[in-house]
Chain A
Amino acid sequence: MTIASGKLLNRGIGALLLCSCLNAAASPPSLEQLLQQRTRTLPGQIEVSTASRLQQSAAQAAQVTYLVTAEDINRLQLRTLGEVLSLLPGLYVSSDSTYGYLTARGIGRPGDYNSRLLFMVDGTRVNDNIYDAGLVGSNFHLDVRLIERVEFMPGTGSALYGNNAYLGVVNIISKKVYQLQNLQLQGSVSNQHQHDMLLSYGLRHPEGHEGFLALSQNRRGEIPLPEVGLADVPRQAVDLNQDTNTKLAGSYSYRRFAITFAGVQRDRQQPALVGERLVAHQIQNDVSFVNARYAQRLSQQLEWQGHFSTNRMHFKTVTPTLLGLAANQPQLNELIFDVEGKWTNLDQRFSYQASPGLSWLAGLDLQRDHHQAYRFNINELLTISSVASSNLRAGVFIQQDWQLWPAHRLLLGLRYDHSAQDVRELSPKLGWIWQASPREQWRFNFGRAFRAPNEYELETNRFYQIALPAAEQTDTIELGWQRQWQTDWHSHVTVYRNQLKNLITSAYGDTTLVPFFNDLPVHAQGVELLLQRDWTDLSELKLSVSLQRAEYSTQQRLTNSAEQLLKLQYYRPLWQEQWSVGYRLFAASARFSRNARLAGFARHDLSLRWQPFANLQWQLTIKNLTDHRQLDAPLPSTQQLSQSGRSIDLSLSWSLP
């Protein structure tokens, strides 16, 4: 049963219960109906798991957690993780048509691969071990329709998670078997030559054995070239611009033991001009993970959780080249860049409830990088450059949650990270929560976080024989105020200030390999406002405003990020319960690249949903209604790239009754 169908049934329940008022003999709501009943849950009561690495009510966490739910994803027919993340306060996503680039709270450096955010799938770290990349484009491990929710904890997270939890932690919670039971089929077509399909099957045994398997494919052809100012692009060039992603995911669990796997194989093809010839530049990218989790209560007060995962990423580009071409050779040579990473994580956590007002969480995280390798070669025969290394990373952490007085709690945390590649980082955290009233809460927290230079940055500088960059560090102070108003409005305001040093930045350049350096200190500050309201007729409104400014110590503004973001989502049922409409506004102020000002813009998305039966849904979505193609410059080349234009998507979702 989808959430959407549940919404429709809510009205049925309402009618049923209304009848109950008039007819004492009416049958009671079933458990299914009760679970589909729409609730107006206070945000503080919603269960989250990212802020403290354990399941808890959001009000218990020292830092705010923003959510995007499966229903949000479904309503707007979002297709990539980047589109999902762009709903969240403070995040801005741009694309070069192959990869997505995130900026968070005003910080984003050209050419980074989102390594300042920690990405997890159900608690499994998925940033790779070469670029520390977080994939937010179409090649993310999971099809977004398999996401139950995305939790985003902005701010420092290194006191619990270590490396990469620098500007925030993104935890993607996948759907469980209870949401994927029986056969489900979803598909969509778009006027932008895009086709999507997802097929899943899930099964649960009353003894607790359960599992699902899901296969999806996304294909896009004739992708417009994003580069601005290209003249006379031949039709064949657009035809060569294609992207295909095939994904497989599944899980098996028995009570507190679970195994999950997910992987994607990407085949991306882009046109390239070599001499006079138009040729295809190939990108192959495979990423996958398998994880196993188990939890055991060791005593009434002590619980152990163990987590093991093994991951692989493979990235290969094949570029036709004139390099080394012999006289009269008919075929172009192939310049091949081959990157492979394999790593294994082992996490152990112990939670201890010492007394009603005092609990401890302690843990050990290990990461063994078995394989970190690059190879440049021609035709797989002539090696130009080859590098291989390995690493071992370890982190120990402890966190104390102490109820000082009935309305005041204090959280203290400390983590030490150590790696064979010379990382020695101490990350403290202090949080204070004041529950001023049942409807009002204040939060203060201070945290320190780091991002160690990744393998790509280290090896690139070694290649150029220049100094290796030092680890980035940030100190962040945050004050949050949350209130539930009598009128069913909920508001949340966060004010923050970051001090960042050693920001690792790539030199500007057009070459494949650009060296890295530690940039000047940066001060960033901002305000995030989130307003939400649910109406009794099932309408919903969510509005966020982010004002953020990041400057070097020289007062010069940081490039690549909007200083004002406005995001609005509105959803309401129409004249009949089967019909509903959704609207989304995304507006950003001007951004700056090194040599240009990129104008602010507003994008509008509109969707219309028809659900004639509980197990069948049709949806028409128009994204970027006004076809405004804003420009961004997310790459070190500072080249301005046009973002996606209007698309019209028609989607179908069906499940076996």
Chain B
Amino acid sequence: MSWCWPGKSGWPALGMLLACYCPPAKAADAALQAALIYRFAQYSEWPAAEPKVYCVVQDIAVQQALQQVLQPSSTVRHIQQPQQVKGCHVLYLSRQLTPDPVWQPVLQSADVLSIAANAELFALGAIFGIIQEPQQLAFRVNLTLARSRDYHLNARMLRLAKELY
């Protein structure tokens, strides 16, 4: 097992995570999740003018992978509690998190783009939900919720969603 860092953060590092760094699959999975989070944020416009602060709930592997993907000007915070969401622009609810209604109030905030790692967390009221398929990932979008908060989501991205709510 070897890492082949190119010496810069960003997409080359993600490339390594996905292609050069072979098993364990968990790291590759985290890299893929991180890449999706980046793309969802990139193809969305919402009241937070420029997403600078990404928050990952209870998944250090995704936090680290996301840090590699983003520009140095962005920060990635690892959080545990809903009270720590203040200041976050993008919020990723990892599958380690038990679906807990205490997260619902923070998901109501129009300032946060929320991404849930599974169906149970998406049901709490997230904008994006990642769907684990047997050999691929897919995603669903709560378009009704997004529209009600004046989010603008890229049409090309919506075309690729498995489900639009």
Contact = CB atoms under 8 A, between A and B. Distances in A.
A18 B35 contact: no
Interface in A55-81: 55-57, 60, 67, 69, 71
Interface in B36-81: 36, 39, 43
Contacts of B110: none
Interface in B3-52: 4, 6-8, 10-12, 14-16, 18-20, 22-23, 25, 28-29, 32, 35-36, 39, 43
B84 interface: no
A13 B98 CA distance: 33
Nearest to A32: B160
A24 interface: yes
Contacts of A28: 10-11, 14, 35
Given A24-B6, A300-B101, A45 B118 contact: yes
Interface residues of B, number: 57
Interface string B103-147: 010000000000000111001010000011111111100011000
A20 B164 contact: no
Interface stretch (A112-120, A202-210, A496-504, A548-556): A202-210
A488 to B, nearest CB: 7
Which one of A14, A28, A32, A403 has the greatest number of beta carbons of chain B within 10 Å?
A28
Contacts of B143: 207-208, 255
Contacts of B15: 16-21, 26, 29
B136 A35 contact: yes
B150 interface: no
Contact of A60 (B12, B14, B120): B120
Contacts of B18: 13-14, 17, 29, 37
Given A34-B36, A353-B99, A353-B101, A40 B159 contact: no
A353 B157 CA distance: 31
A382 interface: no
Interface in A1-56: 3, 6, 13-14, 16-24, 26-32, 34-41, 45-47, 54-56
B23 A488 contact: yes
B162 interface: yes
A348 to B, nearest CB: 18
A236 B58 CA distance: 71
A270 B28 CA distance: 56
Given A24-B8, A178-B160, A403 B120 contact: no
Contacts of A29: 11, 14-15, 18, 35
Interface residues of A, number: 63
A45 B132 contact: yes
B155 interface: yes
Most buried by B among A19, A204, A208: A208
Contacts of B16: 17, 20-21
Given A32-B160, A35-B160, A67-B134, A21 B98 contact: no
A355 interface: yes
Contacts of A256: 144, 165
Given A39-B136, A255-B165, 14 more contacts: A17-B15, A18-B19, A29-B14, A34-B137, A35-B138, A40-B25, A40-B135, A55-B123, A149-B134, A178-B161, A208-B144, A255-B144, A353-B123, A356-B99
Please give me the 9 A-B residue pairs with the lowest Cβ-Cβ distance, nearest first.
Answer: A20-B15, A17-B15, A356-B100, A17-B19, A28-B11, A55-B119, A206-B155, A20-B12, A45-B132
Interface of A: 3, 6, 13-14, 16-24, 26-32, 34-41, 45-47, 54-57, 60, 67, 69, 71, 149, 176, 178, 181, 204, 206-208, 210, 253, 255-256, 297, 300-301, 303, 353, 355-357, 403, 488, 534, 536
